[in-house]
Structure 1
Amino acid sequence: MRGPAAALPWGQVVRFTAVGVVNTGTFYGCYLPLHRLLPYFAAYTTGFVLSLVGSFFLNTYFTYRTRPTWKKFLLFPLTQVTNYAVQSAGLVALVSWLGMDSVAAPLAAALLALPVTFVVSRRILRPPARRRAAAGQPEPPVRSGDPV
């Protein structure tokens, strides 16, 4: 099979989805108690920020099997800005325009953002091999105990 679907790194897509499920659970576990104390959007934002660090490490080690570095850690929030924007727009649209319950809407918004977030995070955490090779920087294998 040729074309864009054949070039997709399906293992990474599956691992990214699994990490997304774990990260969504972490986020939702923060969001629900905060939702009782704060307006839904403030609770959403706080839960999103709290789940960011775990998402970084799960995606570097498990999804892309690359070594976390300070540079990637500092760039990773840029991937999440895109994710945040897509999810936020989806959240507001689902709650305000479509009347979806604000308890369930963040989960639906997360599903809508999945393809966009995968593409952006892959570019940050696992740059194309030809860019690494051109820069003379082969991707080192992940070793346990590697510092960030």
Structure 2
Amino acid sequence: MPTETPRPMRRQILTFAVVGVINTATYYGFYLLFLIALPYLGAHVLAFLLSMTGSFFLNARFTYRTRPTWRKFLLFPLTNAANFLITTAGVYVIVGVLHHGSRFAPLGASMAAIPVTFVVSRWIMVPKAGTA
């Protein structure tokens, strides 16, 4: 008999996805803006850092409904460490190895990192959820 995802978890996954879409749009807007003056990897890193800060506050407020604290803010980059490594390697492979354009490379590279980011994000933002 298949187990059903509890309602709060489903809400978190859905909200995480919506925040992810907003975060991706923010990241991509910054990326295109910075791409005017920076090489693609520099634009990627700067856009990533700015969008990660916004993601922290949106996830704290809407996804996990928890108060943002300095501790969580300082730990939050861990939620994006795997995402950063996967997307950075993906951007490099798509642009540097496969010689595709740099404009859409980050969008394709980010897809594989989403599940990992959710699991680690939930563990940081709702510590008791990891022990349940």
Do both share a fold (TM > 0.5)? Answer: yes
State how many pairs are aligned. Answer: 130
Equivalents in 2 of 1:49, 1:7: separation in Å?
32
User: TM-score under structure 1 normalisation?
Assistant: 0.79
- Alignment RMSD: 1.9
Is the 2:27–2:50 Cα contact (8 Å) retained in structure 1? yes
CA drift at 1:57: 0.5
SS state of the match for residue 76, structure 2? helix
Render the CA deviation track for 1:32-64: whole Å, top value 9, x for unaligned. 021121110010001111112111000111111
Equivalents in 2 of 1:31, 1:54: separation in Å?
15
Letter in 1 for 2:41: F
Residue 84 (structure 1) aligns with? 84
Render the CA deviation track for 1:68-123: whole Å, top value 9, x for unaligned. 11110111012122221121122222223333321001111122211111111111
User: Which ranges of structure 2 fall in alignment gaps of 5 or more residues?
Assistant: none
Is the 2:66–2:125 Cα contact (8 Å) retained in structure 1? yes
Letter in 2 for 1:97: V
Within-5 A mapping of 1:12-91: 12-91=12-91
User: Which ranges of structure 1 fall in alignment gaps of 5 or more residues?
Assistant: 133-148
The structure with the largest helix share of the pair is 2
